[in-house]
Amino acid sequence: MKLVRNIEESKNKLNKVSDKEAEQAFRTIIEWIGEDPNREGLKGTPKRLIKAFKEYFQGYSQDAKSFLSKTFSQVEGYDDMVVEKNITVESHCEHHMAPIIGVAHIAYIPTKNIVGLSKLARVVEAFSKRLQTQEKLTIQIAKTLMDTLEARGVAVTIDAAHQCMTMRGVKKAKASTVTNHYLGLLKEDLSYQNRYLRFISNK
């Protein structure tokens, strides 16, 4: 309920700024960098930015837990890890609003029910499409899976490049960041954790 309330509060805050006001803000930024927003190539840019930003940050209007509401029990007693690898992550750094591009790997150990595989990717996307830090993103995904699925264990790994580091600042083009978060059996039992790490390291 707290997550839903936070989403509603975020939506209300966003709704206080109209598309027209946001469009004018983009025009101001274009002028600030030294460009003419009225020249041929830039006339439609503020409107295009509105459309793009709605896509980049659509996670604020999504409840990640809702994607996990439908589960399946007819799985012949399956109780081992479910691992989904190489889920694309496309997010934005909350410090510079620069892109974060990478992949997420997920594992969970079901109690009795499993969830559709696409729903795991939906959870990643819902949290990714917000201003983020990679550390927070990793934890949000893991806790949501653990709590909503009542799983016996969860692991989330994200490996991503931050363009606030590759394109500006220290400009280390090949740098990537890896974050992990383990819960339940995947934190307590190293045999599970080691198996998970072997699974995600095999391409």
Is residue 180 within 8 Å of residue 138, measured between CB atoms? yes
Q: Distance between alpha carbon 183 and the CA centroid of its chain, in Å?
A: 18
Catalytic one of 132, 162, 181, 193: 162
Residue 150 catalytic? no
Q: Is 8 a catalytic residue?
A: no
The answer to whether 181 is a known catalytic residue is no
Beta bridge partners of 18: none
Longest dimension (CA), the chain: 64
Which residues, 6 or more positions from 40, have their beta carbon under 8 angstroms from its beta carbon? none
Catalytic residue among 95, 135, 150, 188: 95
The amino acid occupying position 110 is P
Choose the catalytic residue: 23, 84, 90, 94: 94
Is 92 one of the annotated active-site residues of the chain?
Answer: no
User: Has 193 been annotated as catalytic?
Assistant: no
Distance of CA 128 to the CA centre of its chain: 2
- Alpha-carbon distance 192 to 63, whole Å? 29
Q: What is the DSSP string of 16-65?
A: TS-HHHHHHHHHHHHHHTT--TTSGGGTTHHHHHHHHHHHHTGGGG--GG
Instruction: Tell me how far apart the alpha carbons of residues 37 and 31 are, in angstroms, rounded to a whole number.
Output: 6
Q: Which of 92, 105, 125, 134 is catalytic?
A: 134
Q: Which of 23, 35, 62, 93 is catalytic?
A: 93
Catalytic residue (one of 35, 58, 90, 96): 96
Which residues are tagged catalytic? 93-96, 134, 162, 164
